[in-house]
Structure 1
Amino acid sequence: MPALFAPLLLPATWARLLHLLVGPVFAGVVLLVYPGTEGVSTVRALLSSVAVDVPLLCLVALVPAVRRAEGVQARLLLVPDREESIGVAPSAGWADRGRTALWLVARVALGTAVGLLVAAALGGSAAAARPPFGPRVLLVPLVLLVLPALVVFAGRLQLALAVRLLGASAAERLAAAELRAERLLERNRLARELHDSIGHALTVTVLQAGAAREVADPAFRDRALEAIGTTGRRALDDLERMLVLLREAPEATAAEQPGLDRAEELFAAARAAGSPVDVDLGVRAGELPGVLSREAYRIVQEGVTNALRHAPGAPIRIRAAVAAGTLELSCRNPRTGRGSPRRGGGKGLRGVRERAVLLGGACEAGPDGTDWVLRVRLPLRLGR
């Protein structure tokens, strides 16, 4: 028995009842204003009210702001488990206006029905409880049990209607899912960018610092410190750009993403770290689409970083060429065994593969004789 009356102790139940009672209030006002309902039966008065209420509510639903107002009321009084289940945006099209009209009609109809039932039940119970008592007095406890259940059920039904008719449409849910997917992809892209940039900078810095400690030549130390400073500043610029994008601050200005035209800075840092670099770029950055140039830069950066990390001091050979509408990139270095061991490709190589696949290309990385080779093929026409 206590469990039966537990919902009556919840504030949400009474808030939903208040929301329901707006329906009969609206219908009653229409009956008072609409002429010709005086002195007629209750059934005819209700039919007249329906004939007037439905067209009037459909006209009101044409106003876009009505959907927002109904959504705000439903959130406040119907107390959904998740507020976002009920939208508060104005009508964006005729489909939204139609669903708003259905909601208004259903709200008034359900509220009026519940209001009439509650009034009839309370009035009948009061009449049956007055002396002289008759057999109907036995129905009073049953009414007092059923009435709370009716109120709770009607409130939950009103909430379900609100979620169905005021919630996001299928098109809106699809658009929201696409937006979440785009944001997730963008954050994954930023994570790859950050990994490539900061990973490269830390690798160069560690190698330069180690070489400066081992070599007694002051001139070499100066060059190493200069390379550390340049690499660190470049990494800070990249980090600032990423943080601006992650904050989504429209008033801030982010630095331009580097393209293949800045690849020489990577090679200079590698040479300063003690690794000879043999470069043959058979394509200029200006000849490539912007996105292809930027992704090619990151791929070359990852190749150079891997070579410095796993084969410090070994020569690095970089090749880039265009053949049959495809940009071919390769980074080759000897497997000296003096660096950290390779274990099937870490996050960096996985990021290179993801970049290549997203651009419609392919990536291969692995041993080739005594060398380790990273090969990437990217189509020049990204729409393919």
Structure 2
Amino acid sequence: MPRILAPLLSATTYARWLHLVIGLVFVGVVLMVYPGIEGPGRGELLVRAACVDTVLLVLAALVPAMRRAEGVQARLLLVPGREQDIGVRPARGWADRRRTALWLLGRVVLGGLVGGASVLLPATAVDLVLRPEPVVFGLRLGGGAGLRWAPLLAPVLLFGLGWLVVWGGRLQLAMAVRLLGPSPAERLAAAELRAERLLERNLLARELHDSIGHALTVTVLQAGAAREGGDPEFAARALEVIEETGRRAMDDLERTLALLRDPADQGVPGVPGRGADGDRDARERPGIDRLPALFETARAAGSPVEARVDVPSGALPGVLSREGYRIVQEGVTNALKYAPGEPISVRVAVRDGSLELCCANALRPPSARSHGGSPRRGGKGLRGIRERAVLLGGEAAAGVESGDWVLTVRVPLRLGG
């Protein structure tokens, strides 16, 4: 019983009823202006009125602002629940105008039916209660004992009218979502925009993971070595490295937060040519030329680094230089985290139209892995490296080769190639 009565007592039902009745008002006004309510027969009158209504509604649909006005009204009175399902933008093309015309025609037809029933059924219910010979749907009922039960039909008619309004409002809402909502092209554009924003967020998250993760790894290793070493000179050097690493991490964090505040103006990491200030962002973010400082930090953390960088000056596009730095940084960070103190070998070179990156380190003996040197299992760092490589049109691989953990990345110099 509550399910049957709840829609009839809902304010939403009567807001939608008002929206439906507006369609009947439009039909009535047009009918009174032309062809009028006198003269031709009822059938001819309805045909003429339908033709005039159709012409007027189609002409109104040609006005771009009509789509916006109908969308605003539908949002207010149909109470869609999710307002984005009904658009409020002006018509942008003939497809929008056609859908607006169909909406107006459907709205007037459905509103005329429900509005007409809203007038006819209450009047019939009153006749059943008050008249000795009531008129039901245009038919006069003669006297008789059976008519004593006729007043009991009045609540049935009113109950049926209530549910007619409920279903009419639901149908009107479905029409609005279908005809006033975003077109398939607009839905696709919105989906692409959401995907682009998600990509930007993932890129920024990866940027934070790489830069802050590297800084924390170096800091932990240096602090632990200084605590266990007992050499004041070594401890002072470790504190210098921690200070410098923390300063660089703060710079990276500040740049990333600036991107989060306004990514459209700052340039998105990993997306070439994005943003008005992309050149400034390229200068601020570290590139291949900053690798020597990275290697010195690793050496200060206790891991010997043998590095060979064979990249001519200006040979790399800015995005490749920046992403190449982050890839090497993540490789060195992983080596420091999972095999602290083991030698690290890094090779960076330009060959055959591609940038080749290789980072290898000796695996720690199993007995030495209890102090943070657990084997790698393809965590966020390696996944981020693969994502960076794929976005640049390249590929990445990581695994054990001849007792060493080897990370190799190859990306084309020409983006999209």
Q: TM-score, normalised by structure 2?
A: 0.84
For the aligned residues, what is the CA RMSD?
A: 2.5
Contact 1:277 1:317 in 2 (8 A): yes
Question: 1:344-359 maps to which residues of 2 (within 5 A)?
Answer: 344-359=377-392
Pairwise CA distance, 1:2:
5.7
Whole-angstrom CA distance in 1 between matches of 2:202 and 2:3: 49
Aligned amino acid, residue 94 of structure 1 = W
Whole-angstrom CA distance in 2 between matches of 1:5 and 1:368: 73
Q: Which residue of 2 aligns with 1:68?
A: 68
**Percent of matched pairs sharing the same residue:** 63
Aligned amino acid, residue 22 of structure 1 = I
Contact 1:54 1:105 in 2 (8 A): yes
Whole-angstrom CA distance in 2 between matches of 1:250 and 1:366: 37
Whole-angstrom CA distance in 2 between matches of 1:103 and 1:359: 46
Whole-angstrom CA distance in 2 between matches of 1:24 and 1:191: 56
Pairwise CA distance, 1:51:
2.0
Whole-angstrom CA distance in 1 between matches of 2:58 and 2:5: 38
- Answer yes or no: is 1:91 the counterpart of 2:73: no
Whole-angstrom CA distance in 1 between matches of 2:361 and 2:55: 78
* Cα pair distance change 1:309/1:2, threshold 3 Å: closer
Pairwise CA distance, 1:319:
0.6
Question: 1:41-56 maps to which residues of 2 (within 5 A)?
Answer: 41-56=41-56
Pairwise CA distance, 1:150:
1.4
Whole-angstrom CA distance in 2 between matches of 1:75 and 1:26: 20
Q: Which residue of 1 aligns with 2:411?
A: 378
SS of alignment partner, residue 287 of structure 1: coil
Whole-angstrom CA distance in 2 between matches of 1:34 and 1:234: 79
Contact 1:261 1:284 in 2 (8 A): no
Pairwise CA distance, 1:35:
5.9
Contact 1:260 1:285 in 2 (8 A): no
In the alignment, structure 1 segments of 5+ residues that lack a partner are: none
Contact 2:35 2:49 in 1 (8 A): no
Q: Which residue of 2 aligns with 1:14?
A: 14
Pairwise CA distance, 1:60:
2.0
Contact 1:129 1:140 in 2 (8 A): yes
Pairwise CA distance, 1:232:
0.9
Pairwise CA distance, 1:62:
2.2
SS of alignment partner, residue 364 of structure 1: strand
- Answer yes or no: is 1:221 the counterpart of 2:235: yes
Question: 1:269-284 maps to which residues of 2 (within 5 A)?
Answer: 269-284=297-312
Residues 301-335 of structure 1: per-residue CA shift (max 9 Å, x gap): 01111121222233322111122222211112222
Pairwise CA distance, 1:283:
0.9
Q: How many residues align?
A: 384
- Answer yes or no: is 1:166 the counterpart of 2:180: yes
Q: Which residue of 2 aligns with 1:260?
A: 288
Pairwise CA distance, 1:278:
1.9
Question: 1:104-183 maps to which residues of 2 (within 5 A)?
Answer: 104-133=104-133, 135=141, 138=150, 140-183=154-197
Pairwise CA distance, 1:196:
0.8
- Answer yes or no: is 1:204 the counterpart of 2:228: no
Q: Which residue of 2 aligns with 1:57?
A: 57
Whole-angstrom CA distance in 1 between matches of 2:35 and 2:402: 97
Pairwise CA distance, 1:80:
1.6
Aligned amino acid, residue 197 of structure 1 = S
In the alignment, structure 2 segments of 5+ residues that lack a partner are: 135-140, 267-276
Aligned amino acid, residue 72 of structure 2 = V
* Cα pair distance change 1:319/1:250, threshold 3 Å: closer
Whole-angstrom CA distance in 2 between matches of 1:117 and 1:36: 21
Q: TM-score, normalised by structure 1?
A: 0.91
* Cα pair distance change 1:162/1:12, threshold 3 Å: same
Whole-angstrom CA distance in 1 between matches of 2:264 and 2:390: 30
Whole-angstrom CA distance in 1 between matches of 2:122 and 2:39: 24
Q: Which residue of 2 aligns with 1:192?
A: 206
Pairwise CA distance, 1:200:
0.3
* Cα pair distance change 1:246/1:349, threshold 3 Å: same
State which drifts further: 306-315 or 177-186. Answer: 306-315
Question: 1:27-42 maps to which residues of 2 (within 5 A)?
Answer: 27-34=27-34, 38-42=38-42
Pairwise CA distance, 1:20:
0.4
Pairwise CA distance, 1:92:
2.3
